[in-house]
């Protein structure tokens, strides 16, 4: 079973699916006409320098003579480099934590029953939004203000989704993998990989599937404050992904392991050690550069002290902003949404706003 060590509460929020508006069977972004507009988000170096303390380049001499083009290019390149350096410094100092992971299920009550009875999670809260025809349920091993949790989304009338080939699995740390597998079997759960050492390693693991086909890796590990410990996503260029998550998201490369026998490499990225924090496991399969993402998995949410600076840093380091930073319509919670180079979506939420939202 899962054993949980106490975790000190931190003022770092969890994002609910308020980042998105659901229409019919899927989730679509908030209408662009409702986006928060601001001068903060001009794509020029001059606009970015407003947040990162740079002075705009002067391309003309005081007497009006144009500087040589080579000089202008050098000044622009230098300004951009300084902007990135300032952004990187801020990203590293920002208070960030993986808050929750969002995905869609076809039968909310069935999934809640499996997670609570088989995986030992607690139903933290549930909310129904009939006017938009969806229901959310939040589950995990501790309160949302201090633990990584799951946000399930049920869209009215949609009972099946395509998980695709890009999403991998979620990881759960347990004391005894074999006993947990026996419990899941007794409850009618599906075991896809019996307990045993991981390929190329010594850790004892097993794989099970929930009623919607999402895979969970059970990892034999001692007591931990964060049993919901991993989200595994597949990427087409591991070095590119590592660089992006280090610079744009401020994550640390915790470890990297190549397994040539089975033709894959993994990189563990996160904001703290694997035995105490939830981490992102990026997997590169030799020679595979593209995957089908399906329509089931949605996003990860991460807390930040400033969604405006976060959005600028994401753009500087190669990400795509899909929801400009600003408050959500009707409430004061500030968010921004982006895609990484592989198209994986992340939503950043203002820390203080989310704590207020939970109240």
Q: What is the Cα–Cα distance from 208 to 216, expressed in whole angstroms? A: 5
Q: Alpha helix locations (H) across the chain?
A: 45-52, 69-93, 108-117, 177-186, 238-247, 307-316, 351-358
Name 218's bridge partners: 172, 206
> SS3 for 286?
coil
Contacts 24+ apart (CB under 8 A), 178-187: 178/206, 179/1, 180/1, 180/2, 180/206, 180/218, 181/206, 181/208, 181/218, 183/1, 183/118, 184/118, 184/119, 184/208, 187/114, 187/117, 187/118
Contact call for residues 114 and 170 (beta carbons, < 8 A) = no
Give the active site residue among 85, 89, 144, 217. Answer: 217
Whole-number Å distance between alpha carbons of 186 and 175: 18
As a whole number of angstroms, the distance between CA 62 and CA 59 comes to: 10
217 is catalytic: yes
Query: Which are the catalytic amino acids?
Result: 217
């Amino acid at each position: 079973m899962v054993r949980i060590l106490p975790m000190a509460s931190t003022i770092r929020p969890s994002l609910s699916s308020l980042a998105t508006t659901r229409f019919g069977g899927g989730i679509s972004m908030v209408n662009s006409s409702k986006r928060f507009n601001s001068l903060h988000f001009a794509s020029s170096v001059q606009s970015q320098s407003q947040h990162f303390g740079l002075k705009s380049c002067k391309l003309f001499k005081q007497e009006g003579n144009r500087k040589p083009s080579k000089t202008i290019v050098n000044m622009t390149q230098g300004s951009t480099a300084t902007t990135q350096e300032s952004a990187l410094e801020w990203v590293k100092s920002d208070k960030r934590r993986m808050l929750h992971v969002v995905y869609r299920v076809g039968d909310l009550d069935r999934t809640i029953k499996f997670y609570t009875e088989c995986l030992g999670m607690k139903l933290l809260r549930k909310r129904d939004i009939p006017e938009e025809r969806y229901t959310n349920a939040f589950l995990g091993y501790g309160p949302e203000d201090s633990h990584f949790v799951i946000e399930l989304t049920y869209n009215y009338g949609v009972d099946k989704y395509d998980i695709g080939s890009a999403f991998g699995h979620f990881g759960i740390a347990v004391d005894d993998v074999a006993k947990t597998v026996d419990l899941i079997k007794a409850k009618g759960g599906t075991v896809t990989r019996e307990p045993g050492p991981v390929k190329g390693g010594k850790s004892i693991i097993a794989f099970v599937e929930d009623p919607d086909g999402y895979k969970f890796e059970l990892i034999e590990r001692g007591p931990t404050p964060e049993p919901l410990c991993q989200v595994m996503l597949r990427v087409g260029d591991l070095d590119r992904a590592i660089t992006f998550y280090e610079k744009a998201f401020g994550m640390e490369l915790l470890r990297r392991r190549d397994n040539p026998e089975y033709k894959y490499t993994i990189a563990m990225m996160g904001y703290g050690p694997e035995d105490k924090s939830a981490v992102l496991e990026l997997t590169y399969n030799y020679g595979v550069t593209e995957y089908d993402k399906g329509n089931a998995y949605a996003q990860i949410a991460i807390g930040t002290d400033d969604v405006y600076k976060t959005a600028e840093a994401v753009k500087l380091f190669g990400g795509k902003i899909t929801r400009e930073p600003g408050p959500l319509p009707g409430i004061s919670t500030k968010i921004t949404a982006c895609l990484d180079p592989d198209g994986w979506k992340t939503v950043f939420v203002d820390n203080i706003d989310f704590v207020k939202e939970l109240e």
